[in-house]
Chains A and B, each alone.
Chain A
């Protein structure tokens, strides 16, 4: 099965930029989706198809994907961005086809 690796934690000061990586073999050839999960809440889709934002998601959230790494970037970080973030891909050649990353806890200092 396909494996997605994320750093367990990222710390960032308010107003700075947080970058969360998602590593996978040739992940650049797949579409990556990102979810934000705040404590006690369901995940929310924040980036889809590598870099698109659903309506209602601030422009501060952006994504990129190339080679073996996809990245979720949160600019001008706010206290409300503190959450767990998960990347996810759909890989038709993998079983299971839907794979989530290991998750990254973003802490706002």
Chain B
């Protein structure tokens, strides 16, 4: 059973870069069976897809965030990461790392990590 665990700072200052890592266990991040991604949820609000990365290395980002987002994979550590630059208070949210099978849905979710943007 695939398991995902987010890690990273819980507090980021405005205009700085939010950096999170997702550690994968129970499966290989190099496997063609899965694709990886990030989803966020502002407090009291709904779910927003941030972006995904596929076995081929291709990445796809939400156009609302595209200019500020980078998702990458570190196969040596079985991890993938999220970087979101120039953050504002609007980026305060619980950030989930996710994995999917088949390309359309999100089968596995990390427990989520709250990131607060504040000075």
- Count of B residues near A, CB < 8 Å? 20
Please give me the residue from chain B that is nearest to A44 by CB atom: B109
- SS class of chain B's interface: helix, strand, loop or mixed? loop
Q: Does A61 contact B (CB under 8 A)?
A: no
- A48-95 residues at the B interface, CB under 8 angstroms: 48-49, 54, 86, 88-90, 95
Contact, CB under 8 Å: A102 / B46: yes
Residues of B contacting A98 in the complex (Cβ-Cβ under 8 angstroms): 37, 49, 52
What residue of chain A has the Cβ atom nearest to residue B97's Cβ?
A42
A100–B46 CB distance below 8 A: yes
A86 touches B105 (CB 8 A): no
Task: Report the bound CA distance from A54 to B28 in whole Å.
Answer: 21
Q: Is A45 an interface residue (CB 8 A)?
A: yes
In Å, the complex CA distance between A98 and B37 comes to: 11
Task: Number of A interface residues at 8 Å Cβ cutoff, please give it.
Answer: 25
A45/B49 in contact, CB under 8 A = no
Q: Which B47-81 residues have a C-beta within 8 angstroms of A?
A: 47-49, 52, 60, 62-64
CB pair A103–B47 under 8 Å, yes or no, is yes
Q: How far does the Cβ of B2 sit from chain A's closest Cβ, in whole Å? A: 12
Q: Is B49 a contact partner of A100 (Cβ separation < 8 A)? A: yes
Given A42-B96, A42-B112, A95-B63, A100 and B48 contact (CB-CB distance below 8 Å): yes
B16 within 8 A of A: no
Chain B residue numbers with a CB within 8 Å of A48 are 105, 107
Residues of B within 8 A of A42 (CB): 96, 109-112
A1-B63, A95-B63, A97-B60 given. 9 additional CB < 8 A pairs? A35-B47, A42-B112, A43-B96, A43-B109, A45-B105, A90-B104, A96-B63, A99-B49, A102-B46
Q: A residues within 8 Å of B by Cβ?
A: 1, 31, 33, 35, 41-45, 48-49, 54, 86, 88-90, 95-103
The 6 closest A-B pairs by CB, nearest first: A90-B104, A98-B49, A42-B109, A33-B105, A100-B47, A96-B62
* A and B contact pairs by CB, cutoff 8 A, 18 listed: A1-B63, A31-B104, A31-B105, A33-B104, A35-B106, A41-B111, A43-B109, A44-B109, A49-B104, A86-B46, A88-B106, A90-B105, A96-B62, A98-B37, A98-B49, A98-B52, A100-B46, A102-B46
